[in-house]
Chain A
Amino acid sequence: MHRLYRALLRLYPAEFRDEYGREMAQMVRDRIAREPRARLWIDLLRDLLRTAPKEHAHVLLNDVRYAVRLIRRAPMFTAAVVGTVALAIAANTAIFSVVNAVLLRPLPFAEPGRLIQVAEKNDALGLPNFGASVLNLLSWRERARSVDALSAIGFSSFTLSGLGEPEQLSGNRVSPSLMPLLGLAPVAGRAFTPDEERPGAPPVAMIGEGLWARRFGRDPAVVGRAVTLNGLPVTIVGVAPRALNLISGGDVYVPLTIDPSTEIRLNHVIFVAGRLKPRVTIQQAQAEFDTIAQAVAAAYPEMRDWGVHLLTFFDTFVSAQLKTGLLVLLGAVAFVLLIACANIANLLLSRSASRQKEIAVRVAMGATQSRVLRQLLVESVALSAIGGAIGIVAAVWAVRAINASLPPNLLPVPAVRVDAVVLSFAAGLTLLAGLIFGIAPACYTAKTDVHDMLKHTARPAGGGSGARVRSALAAAELALATLLLVGAGLLLESFLNLQRVRLGFEPRGLLTFQLAPPTSRYPLTDKAPGFYRALLESLRAAPGVRGAAVSSGIPFGQGNYTTSPLQASGPSALPADAAVPIDWRIVSPGYFKTMSIPLLRGRDFSDAEGAGAPAVAIVSQATARKFFGDMDPIGRSLHRAADARPFAIVGVVGDVRSTTLNQESPAIYYPLSTRAWPLMDVVVRADVPPETLLPALRQKVHEIDGELPLATVRTMDEWLSASAAQPRLSATLLGAFAAVAVLIAAIGIYGVIAYSVNQRTREIGLRMALGARPGGVMRLIVKEGMIVAAAGIGAGLAAASLLGRAIASLVYAVPVDDPPTFAGVGLLLALVAFAACAIPARRAARLDPMDALRCD
């Protein structure tokens, strides 16, 4: 029992134990003889648990006090270390807060892990993740047992009027079961009732929280109010929470009514969300849906080749590219932190020489080696903590800037926040950084041999293993900096390639806006085409306008970008009955001319193609080649896989990049004169700066219909810039981190060489006294540094060639092992390292041999 207590004494700090351990054990021995055992043990354990942490805290407090005193005594050194740590921790915290918001925080729904998207897929057409059709939704609802509920969301646009200035809004038609399925409750009023899914139910709508705040000042009285949506009277029954916006940005929600008699099974227009039953895995559900899809395909021949693909909500909303991008950035800032740690370790190592005498005195006075080690680690953690605190403050500020400057929709979350998780991460990382950069110098310093040091004759342990450790650290810094710079170089090249991509149209001088004339007043096949014809005529007459046209989706805009499977209606280059997904657009005559898309063959649309005229279409060159190879496409026909009506091809136009810069997509254009789309993009080519035309254009629109709002007014340059936002951001951030890394690494190698020159002053003096020329001395020093640099850069390039694959999905038209990039980075860093070595080398070469020899 007494022995057990002696073992427990190890819980006290060594100093305390050494001082009082014997007496404490003796005391326990005395008490064992006199007191009842059980009670004594309870007393002893309570005493131990209360006082052991207290003694540790006392030691720690002393160490911290000591560290603070030292820190205040070396303000320059402290500033260098604290600044480096602050920079690295700020970058890490800011990037991690984005990672946390996007990848770690659960989606704002009840039990988000059980939520899935039910998508349709068609392997034959290469469509892995396509929209669903309403009839298939009904079949799934009927048969699926692995899900609790299935809800549909259809994207839509609305013109809100009857409240002063009409406003055009995007929104969704949603199944009444959607909000319960997601576990969301309305912020005010009520959600839709199941009856409201049936056609003929009284028209109701919900508005989003954003619109509620912006347009109604969060007035609860908005519930029950009658408004006009798309020209029809509708009652607002409730306000939907912001979380619903995640599924698709939108301000207005109306019930998605289902009328099976008007639906086509191949009309893939809805997003279907489902909730897995408890304890059902997505694989089990996928197996069930595969069976259902087969049964559906057996019953409906048009569903041949179509299957079902289940995705987790996470995979639906967080694209693989975004995930990779974020992880690459997180890796990059981690590297910056490591470089910073290596650099600080080097600083501490060079200082250790001057600390050794002080340490030796403490050891001589009885401090144990572990005690000294602890003291040194407390010092480095204290330094790190100051830097970390500044870094966290900077990160909070940076996150605010990120929220303010990120283009909307780049991240699938409303805002990035510095929450408890982020703060714990930052605090943990700060502590870890202090330990990482402190451990090597502390071990090295604590190892000091007391006798050598106190004998005064020994030189401080500066050469030998200390120099090797410092060189290795500098090389490691350079290696990491090389890795980052290669990554940044590849992303930058990729971004520049995207900027140089041939768009297929001329973006300069184009102004665009959206119109959605209410279909109640402008039926799509009837009044709407006439409205646009009149509008374009009027717009073209405005001064400064060279051309005007409309399209259901201009490139890179916010129009309708859907594909539909097409088949050739006669001989084709493809196997009979083969269907290919093709982007389709509805455009007015003059669209290609306005956009400067070249007409390669045939003719443009004309106003003569109205109801009753033969159905015609214009295809892009890629579409023509796909279906007809080298045959002349003019006069041949295509039809949608869903219906047999042929469209005769009257023209071929150039290919256009339309949704992403890195991908060319074949297209088919249908004439506006036969049918409009509810939301159309108007595009105007200006002879003057395009923004200046807006007032005149607005007036022209309102001359025809004073109720029509102009929505999403942008220049084409703005659209393009938004489309490149993510690659630009990745390249900019990684570039900035790499620049910081190179700077720190350059300081690192400079420090090592400068220190070495300092240590070797006497040797250099001797060499010069013996006839070495300044040039030779300089070469010697530079060579020493460049060996370290070459090792670091070489290792970095080798690592980059291995790790390059990690960013393969982020780069466009650059191989990840691009030799010019690697060579350029290697050369650049070699130059930086050379400059960093040359400064101390010059100082060495200018030494006066006599002074140098005299110096101690």
Chain B
Amino acid sequence: MALPAAVLHILIALADGDSHGYAIMQEVAARTDGALRLGPGTLYGSLKRMLHDGLIEELDERQGAGRDDARRRYYRITPRGRKTARAEIARLAKLVRQARATTLAVKHS
């Protein structure tokens, strides 16, 4: 089953390091050239369900201490999260390959 776009973006944003909500949002915006700005409801709603599904974990205060902003909650991608993201990316890549083989893609190539 396809992963919601917001979830995949958050996983990608967390792939290279722990981050907090606002930074995740900025990272996603930067990666998409400002096209995708995750709203607070979307972002935290997704984070909540990703926590529940074990795709990410929340760092406790001790781990969070020493970061640039200790008041914020930091999130880290779990091995399960990485696996899920990889599977989704592979699925999308396959989809793109299949699409390229059709006349759909001819005009653009």
Chain A interface (Cβ within 8 Å of chain B)?
A: 12, 16, 19-20, 23-24, 26-28, 30, 43-44, 46-48, 50-52, 54-55, 58
Contact = CB atoms under 8 A, between A and B. Distances in A.
Contact of B40 (A19, A27, A54, A58): A27
A26 B72 CA distance: 9
A201 B73 CA distance: 94
Contacts of B39: 43-44, 46-48, 50-51
Given A27-B22, A55-B45, 11 more contacts: A16-B45, A19-B44, A20-B44, A20-B47, A20-B48, A23-B21, A24-B40, A24-B44, A27-B21, A28-B40, A51-B41
B21 A47 contact: no
Contacts of B49: 58
A23 B41 contact: no
B37 interface: yes
B85 interface: no
Contacts of A16: 44-45, 48
Contacts of B56: none
A365 to B, nearest CB: 16
A54 B45 contact: yes
Contacts of A51: 39, 41-42, 45
A50 B42 contact: yes
Nearest to A45: B39
Contacts of B72: 23, 26
B25 interface: yes
B64 to A, nearest CB: 13
B96 to A, nearest CB: 27
Given A16-B48, A19-B48, A23-B72, A52 B21 contact: no
Q: Which of A24, A28, A55, A58 has the most CB of B within 10 A?
A: A24
Interface string B25-47: 10000000000010111111101
Given A44-B39, A44-B40, A50-B41, A26 B22 contact: yes
Nearest to B20: A23
Given A48-B39, A51-B41, A51-B42, A27 B25 contact: yes
Contacts of A50: 39, 41-42
A48 B41 contact: yes
Contacts of A48: 39, 41
A24 B37 contact: no
A12 B25 contact: no
Nearest to B71: A26
A44 B25 CA distance: 13
A367 B46 CA distance: 22
Interface string B8-32: 0000000000000110010000000
A23 B25 CA distance: 12
B24 to A, nearest CB: 10
17 contacts: A12-B41, A16-B48, A19-B44, A19-B48, A20-B47, A23-B40, A23-B73, A24-B40, A24-B44, A26-B22, A27-B21, A27-B25, A28-B40, A43-B39, A47-B40, A48-B41, A50-B42
* 9 A-B pairs with the lowest CB-CB distances in the bound complex, closest first: A47-B39, A51-B41, A24-B40, A20-B44, A47-B41, A27-B22, A51-B45, A27-B40, A30-B22
| Max chain B C-beta neighbours (<10 A), residue from A16, A20, A46 | A20
B73 A24 contact: no
Contacts of A52: 41
Contacts of B21: 23-24, 27
Contact of B41 (A26, A30, A55): A55
Contacts of B43: 27
A720 to B, nearest CB: 70
Contacts of A24: 21, 40-41, 44
Contacts of A47: 39-42
A37 to B, nearest CB: 14
Contacts of A43: 37, 39
Contacts of B44: 16, 19-20, 23-24
A56 to B, nearest CB: 11
A55 to B, nearest CB: 6
Interface string B61-72: 000000000001
A46 B47 CA distance: 18
B36 to A, nearest CB: 11
B30 to A, nearest CB: 13
